[in-house]
Amino acid sequence: MAALLPGTATLGVLGGGQLGRMFVHAAQALGYRCVVLDPDAVSPAGAVAEKHVQADYLDPVGLAQLARDCDAITTEFENVPAVALETLANMRVVAPAAAAVAVCQDRAVEKAHFEAAGVPCAPHAVITNEIELAAVDPSLLPGILKTSRLGYDGKGQVRVATAAELAVAWEGLKRVACVLEQLLPLKAELSVIVARGADGRTVHFPVQQNLHRGGILAVTEVPAPDVPPEVEKLAIAAARQVAEALGYVGVLCVEFFWLDDGRLVVNEMAPRPHNSGHWTMNGSDVSQFELQVRALAGLPLPQPRQHSAAVMLNLLGDLWFTDEGGPTPPAWDRVLALPGTHLHLYGKAEARHGRKMGHLNITAATPEAAHAVALDAARLLG
Ligand code: ADP
Ligand code: MG
How far is ligand 1, taken at its centre, from the CA of residue 91, in Å? Answer: 37
Shared domain for 69 and 202, answered yes or no, is no
User: Dihedrals φ, ψ of 61, to 5°?
Assistant: -70, -45
Domain that holds residue 48: 10-94
SS3 content of the chain, % helix, strand, coil (to 5): 30, 30, 40
**Is 308 inside a domain boundary?**
yes
Binding site members: 107, 146, 151-157, 181-184, 189, 212, 267-268
Closest ligand 1 atom to 155 CA: 3
252 C-beta neighbours (distance < 10 Å), count? 28
ipTM of the shown complex = 0.97
- Atom number, ligand 1, closest to the C-alpha of residue 217: 14
Give yes or no: residues 73 and 209 share one domain: no
Q: Which residue lies with its CA nearest to atom 21 of ligand 1?
A: 183
What CATH number corresponds to the domain at position 129? 3.30.1490.20
10-14 and 33-38 strand pairing = parallel
ω into residue 6 within 30 of 0, thus cis? no
Asked if residue 264 lies in contact with residue 258, where contact means CB atoms within 8 angstroms, the answer is: yes
Q: Using CA atoms, how far apart are residues 12 and 287, in angstroms rounded to an integer?
A: 19
Ligand 1 pocket, residue 267 CB under 6 Å: yes
Residue positions counted in the chain: 382
Judgement on whether residues 129 and 213 belong to the same structural domain of the protein: no
- Which pTM value belongs to this model? 0.96
382 residues of the chain, pLDDT tens digit each: 789 999 999 999 999 999 999 999 999 999 999 999 999 999 999 999 999 999 999 999 999 999 999 999 999 998 898 899 999 999 999 999 999 999 999 999 999 999 999 999 999 999 999 999 999 999 999 999 999 998 777 788 999 999 999 999 999 999 999 999 999 999 999 999 999 999 999 999 999 999 999 889 999 999 999 999 999 999 999 999 999 999 999 999 999 999 999 999 999 999 999 999 999 999 999 999 999 999 999 999 999 999 999 999 999 999 999 888 888 999 999 999 999 999 999 999 899 999 999 999 999 999 999 999 999 999 999 8
Is residue 135 one of the residues assigned to a domain? yes
Centroid of ligand 1 to alpha carbon of 378 (angstroms): 24
Same-domain pairing of 200 and 282: yes
CATH number at residue 17: 3.40.50.20
Q: In whole angstroms, what is the distance from residue 153 CA to residue 217 CA?
A: 8
Cα separation values, 140 from 44, 115, 117, 145, 309, Å = 41, 18, 23, 10, 38
What is the DSSP code (8-state) at residue 31?
T
User: What span, in angstroms and rounded, lies between the C-alpha atoms of 332 and 96?
Assistant: 36
Beta carbon of 184 within 6 Å of any ligand 1 atom = yes
Q: Is 290 in the pocket of ligand 1 (CB under 6 A)?
A: no
